[in-house]
């Protein structure tokens, strides 16, 4: 009878074990298909997950923590998704031992002789039978009954360090602190050098209503950890046409890209919750998530204001070297995809491992360009309607006027140009570098090259008439002053130039000579004086000088 009971019990245990094995979720890999890269560290990830055969439950892990409200699962009508549950998981990995405590952890079961830091401590011989693991500090439970864990702690949760090893000796088992060991002799086989490590992750448990063999789910979400950095090089060796080449540097800190299509996004998308981590990412508890919604950002998305000046030494090319090699020939720009106000530039079949940086050529195009010299003169009436044209120190000389040599490029390609650094070359020599601003197709952009020290400019403004107490407003008295300005320019270059002069002023423009293009600006609408911009475009031959004048009335606060 006892034998029959034992047999039945063993059969039941075997049956339960088989059922447990059948119901254990299968791990399914999320194959990354496409990533749309924004220039602020965000990526829109699209992955495909194949449903395992003969099962209704399986697991998968996205490669990035999704942003709030962006994680979606798409599936055909043949698939009936019952639920999806996110939970924490542990990933077992191995790392090389870098300390004696690590080495002891890597050699459980080995016979060792231990020497201690304290000279008075005796050595110990025996077999390592147990090494304690770091214990995770439990999360606070602010919503549970009772006083324990009632206080919300928004700090990251760490681990309690394990400092315990048990050695089986001839006199019994001894517990020691591994940090006290200064030397280990392995008296048997050679020691192992790889120590097991457990890392936190998250996984998604997916449950279907019925098996969907061979069907595929599509997972899409917005996440951080990848970006693209564009830059341009512009060769103006030819007189009328410049060659502009673009490249993209892709920084990948999220997961391996294996035959992935990248879409480089140009534009200004509005992503309101991009800096708030989705609860599905398992990075925050409820209190932290609610706090993130209030702040408008998670700890991961804390904004910092960093301004850095990057200085790169450029190689000096010898006279006998082939300077044409500096300018890459990538071919014409491929047609990307326009979606509303965004442009997506595709790069196909990308292979880039995690923590690698990739260099991807985009295009080389010939575009029309012109040389332009620019002189921009500021407004001398401040926001308080007071005239402020004076040197900070009367003992100092008048500051030199700045005229910049620039190039104006016309975008005749079929793709827009995004904002990025642009390096200007001529005959293989670098002339300068500045920012090329966003330029749509058929648009124009101006890129400064260098100070035009061979074009001299002088300016002066003087009062020609004053009407005191002409107006009382906001409790203050204002004088109405007529101001005349004179601009003098001289071209000391041995070539003809086109000079564009822009003067911003507050007041009512009365006259200009030669006639300037006057544009009213919607700036300072609550001020007494309106704001206008005068623009002259003049041609100067070598050694030629010209004088320009303008007159305007302005109310000045007394």
Q: Is residue 427 part of a domain?
A: no
Predicted local confidence at residue 158, as pLDDT: 59
Comparing 26-40, 107-121, 303-317, 459-473, the range with the smallest average pLDDT is 303-317
DSSP state of 381: B
State yes or no: pLDDT of 473 exceeds 90.
no
Distances (CA, A) of 158 to 97, 130, 152, 200: 21, 23, 15, 11
Q: What is the predicted pLDDT for the residue at 332?
A: 44
Q: Which of 119, 121, 124, 88 is nearest to 104 (CA)?
A: 124
Q: How does pLDDT run across 148-193, given as a tens digit for each residue?
A: 544 444 444 556 778 899 999 998 999 999 888 889 999 888 899 9
What's the 3-state SS for 143-163? CCCCCCCCCCCCCCCCEECCC
Q: Over range 543-558, report the average pLDDT.
A: 94
Q: Where are the alpha helices (DSSP H) in 200-302?
A: 286-295
Reported as a pLDDT band with limits 50, 70 and 90, residue 507 is very high
Asked if residue 535 is part of any domain, the answer here is no
**Residue 289 pLDDT grade (very low, low, confident, very high; cuts 50, 70, 90):** confident
- The answer, yes or no, to whether residue 522 has pLDDT greater than 50, is yes
Query: Is 327 among the domain residues?
Result: no
Mean pLDDT of the chain: 82
Q: Are 58 and 28 in contact (CB under 8 A)?
A: yes
pLDDT band at 510 (very low <50, low <70, confident <90, very high): very high
Residue 138 is assigned to a structural domain of this protein? yes
Q: What share of the chain is helix, strand, coil (3-state, %, to 5)?
A: 10, 50, 40
pLDDT recorded at residue 214:
82
Distance of CA 45 to the CA centre of its chain: 15
The whole-angstrom separation of Cα 456 and Cα 436 is: 26
Tokens of 375: 């002189």
pLDDT of residue 344: 76
Query: What are the backbone angles phi and psi of residue 293, rounded to the nearest 5°?
Result: -65, -35
Residue 114, in any domain of the structure: yes
Buried b (16+ CB within 10 A) or exposed e, 30-52: bebebbbbbbebbbbbbbebbbb
pLDDT digits (tens, 9 = 90+) for 322-355: 434 444 544 444 455 555 456 678 899 999 999 9
What's the first-to-final CA gap in the chain, in angstroms? Answer: 115
Q: Say how far apart CA 121 and CA 115 lie, in whole Å.
A: 8
CB 275 within 8 A of CB 297: yes
When pLDDT is averaged across residues 293-320 and rounded to a whole number, the result is 48
Please tell me whether the overall predicted TM-score, pTM, comes out greater than 0.85 for this model.
no
| Angstrom distance (rounded) from CA 289 to CA 282 | 10
Mean pLDDT of all residues in 518-541: 89
Percent of the chain with pLDDT strictly greater than 90: 46
> Which DSSP category does 66 fall into?
B
**Helices of type H across 154-307:** 286-295
Answer whether residue 181 is part of any domain.
Answer: yes
Domains of the chain: total: 1
The answer to whether residue 307 sits within a structural domain is no
- What does the pLDDT read at residue 120? 64
- d(CA 245, CA 364) in angstroms, rounded, equals 4
Q: How confident is the model at residue 451, as a pLDDT?
A: 92
For residue 133, the domain's CATH number is 2.30.30.520
User: ∠ CA 35-40-43 to the nearest 5 degrees?
Assistant: 15
Q: What 8-state DSSP symbol labels residue 305? A: -
What average pLDDT does the segment 189-207 reach? 85
- Domain span at 176: 98-192
Q: Is residue 383 a part of any domain in this protein? A: no
């Amino acid at each position: 009878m006892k034998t029959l009971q034992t047999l039945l019990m063993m059969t039941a245990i075997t049956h339960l074990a088989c059922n447990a094995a059948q119901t254990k979720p299968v791990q399914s890999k999320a194959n990354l298909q496409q990533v749309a890269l924004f220039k602020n560290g965000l990526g829109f990830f699209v992955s495909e997950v194949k449903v395992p055969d003969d099962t209704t439950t399986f697991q998968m892990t996205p490669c990035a923590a999704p942003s709030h409200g962006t994680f979606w699962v798409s599936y055909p009508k043949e698939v009936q998704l019952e639920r999806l549950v996110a939970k924490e998981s542990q990933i077992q990995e191995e790392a090389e031992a870098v300390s004696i405590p690590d080495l002891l952890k890597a050699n459980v079961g080995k016979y060792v002789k231990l020497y201690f830091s304290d000279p008075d401590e005796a050595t110990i011989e025996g077999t390592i039978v147990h090494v304690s693991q770091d214990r995770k500090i439990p999360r606070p439970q602010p919503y549970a009954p009772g006083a324990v864990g009632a206080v919300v702690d928004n700090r990251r949760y760490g681990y309690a360090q394990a400092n315990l090893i048990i050695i089986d000796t001839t006199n019994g088992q001894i517990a020691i602190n591994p940090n006290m060991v200064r030397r280990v002799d392995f008296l048997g086989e050679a020691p192992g050098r790889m120590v097991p490590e457990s890392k936190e992750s998250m996984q998604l448990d997916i449950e279907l209503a019925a098996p969907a063999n061979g069907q595929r789910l599509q997972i899409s979400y917005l996440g951080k950890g990848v970006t693209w950095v564009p830059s341009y090089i512009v060769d103006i060796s030819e007189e009328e046409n410049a060659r502009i080449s673009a490249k993209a540097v892709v920084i990948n800190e999220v997961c391996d890209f294996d035959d992935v299509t990248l879409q480089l996004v140009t534009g200004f998308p509005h992503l309101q919750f991009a800096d708030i981590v989705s609860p599905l990412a398992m990075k925050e508890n409820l209190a932290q998530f609610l706090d993130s919604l209030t702040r408008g950002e998670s700890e991961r998305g804390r904004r910092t204001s960093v301004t850095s000046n990057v200085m790169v030494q450029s190689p000096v090319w010898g006279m006998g070297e082939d300077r044409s090699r500096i300018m890459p020939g990538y071919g014409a720009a491929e047609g990307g995809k326009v979606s509303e106000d965004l442009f997506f530039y595709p790069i196909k079949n990308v292979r880039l491992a995690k923590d690698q940086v990739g260099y991807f050529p985009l295009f080389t195009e010939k575009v029309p360009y012109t040389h332009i010299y620019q002189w921009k003169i500021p407004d001398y009436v401040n926001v308080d309607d007071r005239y402020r044209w004076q040197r900070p120190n009367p003992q100092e000389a008048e500051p030199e006027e700045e005229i910049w040599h620039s190039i104006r490029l016309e975008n005749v390609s079929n793709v827009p140009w995004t904002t990025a650094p642009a390096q200007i070359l001529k005959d293989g020599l670098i002339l300068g570098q500045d920012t090329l601003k966003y330029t749509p197709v058929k648009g124009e952009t101006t890129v400064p090259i260098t100070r035009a020290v061979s074009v001299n400019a002088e300016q002066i403004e003087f009062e020609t008439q004053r009407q005191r107490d002409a107006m009382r407003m906001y409790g203050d008295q204002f004088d109405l002053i007529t101001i005349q300005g004179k601009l003098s320019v001289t071209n000391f270059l041995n070539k003809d130039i086109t000079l564009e002069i822009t003067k911003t002023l507050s007041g009512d423009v009365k006259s200009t000579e030669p006639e300037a293009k006057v544009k009213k600006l919607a700036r300072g609408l609550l001020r007494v004086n309106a704001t206008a911009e005068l623009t002259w475009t003049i041609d100067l031959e070598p050694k030629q000088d010209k004088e320009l004048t303008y007159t305007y009335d302005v109310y000045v606060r007394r």
